[in-house]
Chains A and B, each alone.
Chain A
Amino acid sequence: NAGVTQTPKFQVLKTGQSMTLQCAQDMNHEYMSWYRQDPGMGLRLIHYSVGAGITDQGEVPNGYNVSRSTTEDFPLRLLSAAPSQTSVYFCASKTVGTENSPLHFGNGTRLTVT
């Protein structure tokens, strides 16, 4: 019953450092996505993917890269961390082909950039 697994749960970075947030799902979902959650701003879509080898930008993609080499994994890379990237990051997945499929979320990664 793993579902969507995110690692790490917490991370502190210094400005300019790089890191990768990991996301893996075991439900064979084609669609995977990354959101950031900030107080009073709900969830904002960073990047998403509708299948292996396919990625696209969401609402707030700047400063983040993604790749999708397998169906299961969808890592999010911060190339040069900035304090504005302090946030809680959620990975979510769902099946495609039916628009009423709900998203399945991981438990989040809380990132602090100093």
Chain B
Amino acid sequence: GDSVTQMEGPVTLSEEAFLTINCTYTATGYPSLFWYVQYPGEGLQLLLKATKADDKGSNKGFEATYRKETTSFHLEKGSVQVSDSAVYFCALSDPTNAGKSTFGDGTTLTVKP
């Protein structure tokens, strides 16, 4: 079945540091890949997505590239801010599996001033 493996957290960084959160996946089909972000007390919201190999999703300074050869979708940001503190989830949507979404366990990021 489908699965998503995320880098274990929590991750603590200083403001303006470089961020990488690793994500690898297993899917029977050719999935779309997503990063969602969850702020305290809220539901998840889409951060970025990519739908085919070598696509780069980007939003709010975050980027991730769909790497089919390594089945990866690592999240990066060049300079994090305190406001980026949140839980980040990698997810896939498999068109051969009724479009159901599979999520990683989430990575908690804390950015200190």
Contacts and interface: CB of A to CB of B under 8 A. Distances in A.
B100 A45 contact: yes
A58 B101 CA distance: 10
B25 interface: no
B43 A99 contact: no
A48 interface: yes
Contacts of A105: 36, 43-45
Interface string A31-71: 10101000011110100101000001010000000000000
Interface string A83-94: 000000010101
Nearest to A94: B99
B99 A96 contact: yes
A100 B93 contact: yes
B105 A99 contact: no
7 contacts: A35-B103, A40-B105, A42-B4, A90-B43, A100-B32, A100-B93, A102-B36
Contacts of A96: 99
A41 B82 CA distance: 25
Given A56-B98, A103-B101, A106-B43, A42 B89 contact: yes
Contacts of A56: 98
A42 B93 contact: no
B57 to A, nearest CB: 10
A107 interface: yes
A58 B97 CA distance: 11
A92 B100 CA distance: 11
A4 interface: yes
Contacts of B4: 42
A18 to B, nearest CB: 24
B48 to A, nearest CB: 10
Given A33-B100, A42-B106, A102-B46, 11 more contacts: A42-B105, A48-B100, A56-B98, A58-B100, A90-B43, A92-B101, A99-B93, A100-B49, A100-B93, A105-B36, A105-B44
